[in-house]
Amino acid sequence: MNAWDSLDSWSNYASYPPEALEEGLYQHLQSCRQQESPQQVIERFRQLFIDGSTYPDKDVYGALLDLIDRSQASQEFKYVLNRCCYTLINPWYTQPREHWAIPEIIRLFDDLPTAPATSTQVQALRSRVQEFVDSEQYAALARLRQIFEHPKSLNSSASVTTGNHPLRQRIRHYPFLYDHSLLTKDSTQEQRQNILDLRSKEESKLRLDIARYHSCCQGLSRNRQLENPTLLETFQFTEAVNHYTGRVDGKRSQRDMANWFATYSRTTRSYRDFKNEFVDYLINPIATIEPKYAGNHFTRRFRQYLRETLSEFDSQRLNSFIVIETCRRVLNFLVVDSPQRPIFRNFRHLLNDIGYTLTVGLLLRVVLFCSAAKPWLERCFSVLFNYHEANNCKEVLWLVTSLEHANIALLTNFGATAF
């Protein structure tokens, strides 16, 4: 049965709920994908949504026009169009030979019609499509396009330092950004699973590349031809790996310190006491190298910020909610507060004052102590990436270098490969 056989005619569409019309669109695209080549489906998609003035299947076209005529279309149609895209992208992702079609269908939105519309309905459709292009949903799609479109040759440091390509083209190199840069609140479970699969594959490969190159740098590998998998100079790479995995204070690694503090914090009498000790745990390894951080202006502000955090729980014992929420707020303070208010002056101050390794080491201690806060740290970096993605890499080298360090810190401390 045709997806539209249950609907009488276009003149009666208004009596059907939007959900039925949307589902008919999805089923129509699914049917086309199963019966036609990706090239043919992409051309169908272009005719239906981009050109929008005609379409071979009048029932489908009529339902589309009815959807954009709904009173809530300006708020809701972007979700419908997003799902239409992923109705095709999700199955293409599972077929590597069809991966080329993913950036091709997203690229259609680069060339929206500029000629006058032939009718008010076509003009309305164009307006809804333009709203989609301006939406968070399309921004996530555009980032996905970069992963399948741009070669990994962009990884060379010369390319990033001297090139004029935008930061967004490097997203494939930072899989810890995928969850918060490629997914939106309306993402389906299938979409989420595909992004998780994509992230897992990229992380596994990069983690192995980092381990092999580290072994080479330590003289433990005979293969001297290995390429540096990061943008850092070799000495910077070695320093970073050693700081994130080796003995920071001559005795314990970052993970050892986190485990010790997690055990110790269970005996803390109150949340008020915990907050003071938490600052010491986070700052002391920095103060060992930069003594001024034992009590400088930044540390005092940080301590005051924590004193005021969740103060209504000060007399209580620790629980998982308090710990997770505290770590989230600490990451907001140290990196960036929110997508709506992306202020990151503390982060830039730390990078300029103590450098990338000590700054990212500080963030690492937060998520090693509370692994449930790791997605929040990834979110913070995604806020920075999404905010700066249109900038050329050479204009935001501070962020590129931070992402490189975050990659190393997270991949060497979370995952199957031991360092």
pLDDT, one tens digit per residue, over 218-264 is: 876 666 678 899 999 999 999 999 999 998 877 899 999 999 999 99
pLDDT at 79 over 90: yes
* Dist CA 407 CA 54 (whole Å): 48
Phi, then psi, of 78 in degrees rounded to 5: -60, -35
Q: Which residue has the higher pLDDT, 229 or 11?
A: 229
pLDDT band of residue 14 (cuts 50, 70, 90) is very low
pLDDT, one tens digit per residue, over 315-374 is: 999 999 999 999 999 999 999 988 888 999 999 999 999 999 999 999 999 999 999 999
Q: Where are the domains of the chain?
A: 10-149, 168-413
> What are the structure tokens assigned to 248, written together?
């920071």
pLDDT, one tens digit per residue, over 110-169 is: 999 988 888 999 999 999 999 999 999 999 999 999 999 865 555 556 566 656 889 999
Q: Which residue has the higher pLDDT, 208 or 218?
A: 208
pLDDT at 13 over 50: no
Q: What is the pLDDT, as a whole number, of residue 338?
A: 83
3-state DSSP call for residue 315? coil
CB atoms within 10 A of CB 281: 20
* Residue recorded with tokens 């799609």: 141
pLDDT at 2 over 70: no
* Dist CA 356 CA 244 (whole Å): 12
pLDDT, one tens digit per residue, over 18-70 is: 588 899 999 999 999 999 999 999 999 999 999 998 899 999 999 999 999 98
**Helix 234-245 with 189-217: angle, nearest 10 deg:** 110
* Dist CA 414 CA 142 (whole Å): 28
Stretch 185-214: mean pLDDT: 95
Q: Facing residues of 392 across strands?
A: 166
Maximum alpha-carbon separation in the chain: 78
Phi, then psi, of 79 in degrees rounded to 5: -70, -35
* Dist CA 27 CA 31 (whole Å): 6
Stretch 280-285: mean pLDDT: 97
Q: What is the pLDDT, as a whole number, of residue 249?
A: 74
